Structure 1
């Protein structure tokens, strides 16, 4: 066991490294601001060079911090997690310091978050997608619909101005919220094609009732919502379009259920504590990106693939990128069947059983993630094969490239190392795992206010 003196020295060293990160960032930004005030404005090329230099320095310093943490991770993983959080908090303060400091290495956020007029340019978000769901345009080509009423009195005849009335419309819509609200749904919310639900600028909770169902539709974006405490609902009539309503059997109580749908993007949501899964994608769904979300306090987090016998899920391609898998999680981050899954640049700080699991020979491509194993010495393995012995799963294509393993975490690969299968499980270029802290620092719902960058 490490002595108190050794821990103290480690902490002093870490604080010094963190101070260097912050100091270098401040000096770089001040230099950038001085250039901006000079009679001759800095050129675009010079801006790019400054940003590249700055980001490289930040990444190197964060790597030093994380290396020091890794050396001492076995002693106290909770202390390490809190130190990592402190280093992230200090390093991300740079976003407030200058015009080129907004870049984080997260290509989604860097596409739109620096714009102080984001509320006037909301639909720009639709052009910022990455991964297999990058072509999801949601309601980009439609009008804005402003939700003014948090009630959900009648799932068959929803009031105009409610979220349910908005999502069932046949035409494309970009749905926003007039004010903060908590929406408790009597029944599951059935979303029609070409819809964006955009919670930016309001604190919107979908909680304590039914939650979101995306069934047999296409082009849906769900962004900026708190979704939690979802309940099982059903055995009731529910409207799915202006011209159709029908009997719904019991819904499982997922936060977001994707069923037989394509071109779906779930981004910057905070999800926790639901009756079943937080995000489930099943029954032939594909072209999915799950990004920038903050997952906490849940057992079975993400399910991708309906069952081992449902072979239509062999077409599924899903990207899991830039998410933070946080406190109170147990398993399925994700749990995959049959298809092709790109798990890239996520931050795993908590799990109790395993992080990534699968059955029915899925292809899993893990790149540039940070895995911090729990204290339990029997739960250090990132991966878990289910319903198969070694003789069967040894041919499954699972690989780890550039992942950072902390506190004894380890990934068990299988299959041919250079299999062509990974071409179908590759959806974007992975960043270095040393950048994960910066890339995921804004995971979950953002506190966006008008006139300021998010």
Structure 2
């Protein structure tokens, strides 16, 4: 059983903790910088088997530029992420990286921003397309712009024409075993994290989302039925100031929304269409002051006669300031089993567990 597997790994190895099992697994170690790859053993949820670049060498990014997306210079982030071998990518110093085009990842990569203040901003952002085993940790990603109609390299042996990209912070397309952890994401042209086109085995954890309209889209379209296999865990995130909707907006698949702190939304928090299964456990939902936006949930452009059969449940959620969650479905246990990926903690612990959501100011030789 998935829950036992996850718990049996004794994630509380250094437990100095807040009860957040990912953080308690590595953050209490003052020598985290000498044991960076330990992070790959700390995953939870549907993306917990993402090893990223654990089995490869370290690659140190020394150059913030992105002058030529077809022939990237050694030392740049783009040169690192396109390589065919596993790599654990770290940064020599603080940097702001303005990408000319989207950053097209290759498989078995970790981008680890710990110990430096790294911003990917004001240009293209991260595309994870038709690959596996990617970990994105510790970045500030914001003000992403639409790019495209250009040649971009995606491996040492291949570059190709890219049509227009929407300007997502992180776009996951036809990919699996993906873990997005402890990033600060805001103010992009389209979504902050979008996962579409048959992507699955994804964990989105410990991120801080702010100042954005359509935060997270999971599922390509109502007609794209390959996304029926999608499984995504959304855990320990802080959905914060200036957010409007889609936290997430789901289609078709199985979504475990667990122990997140929702302090701001303007329209709704969790939406969906095309019969997704949504398992909401141990979250804190604080409704906005607007008396017409108190509902956590939204069924998008669907008649009640249809959505009343969708499996959406709220268990142990803390509903604050008049927030209410509209459940549906007969509660088919098999359906919720496929939308369960770890044990939820009490919603009373959510604030402590999400207090350090977003990119962490880690310094070598100290607990992070």
2:282 aligned with 1:368 = yes
Q: Report how far residue 202 of structure 1 moved.
A: 0.1
2:77 aligned with 1:182 = no
Q: Which residue of 2 aligns with 1:339?
A: 253
Alignment of 1:4-403 (within 5 A): 102-403=16-317
Q: 2 CA distance for matches of 1:334 and 1:115?
A: 33
Instruction: Tell me which of the two structures has the higher relative contact order, counting C-alpha pairs closer than 8 angstroms and 6 or more residues apart.
Output: 2
Q: 2 CA distance for matches of 1:409 and 1:387?
A: 21
Q: Is the 8 A contact 1:289 1:318 kept in 2?
A: yes
Return the match for 2:331 from 396, 417, 427.
Answer: 417
Q: 2 CA distance for matches of 1:369 and 1:392?
A: 26
TM-score, normalising length from structure 2? 0.96
Q: Report how far residue 420 of structure 1 moved.
A: 1.8
RMSD: 1.0
Runs of 4+ that moved beyond 2 A: none
Gaps of 5+ in 1: 1-99
For residues 166-215 of structure 1, give each alpha carbon's deviation from its aligned partner in whole angstroms, at most 9, with x where no partner exists.
Answer: 00000000000000000000000000000000000000000000000000
Q: Which has the larger radius of gyration?
A: 1
Q: Report how far residue 417 of structure 1 moved.
A: 2.7
Q: 1 CA distance for matches of 2:200 and 2:361?
A: 30
* Corresponding residue SS for 2:365: coil
* Corresponding residue SS for 1:425: coil
* Bigger proportion of residues as helix: 1
TM-score, normalising length from structure 1? 0.78
For residues 267-291 of structure 1, give each alpha carbon's deviation from its aligned partner in whole angstroms, at most 9, with x where no partner exists.
Answer: 0000000000000000000000000
* Bigger proportion of residues as strand: 2
Q: 1 CA distance for matches of 2:211 and 2:148?
A: 25
Q: Report how far residue 387 of structure 1 moved.
A: 2.0
Gaps of 5+ in 2: 1-13
Q: Report how far residue 217 of structure 1 moved.
A: 0.1
Q: Is the 8 A contact 1:397 1:419 kept in 2?
A: no
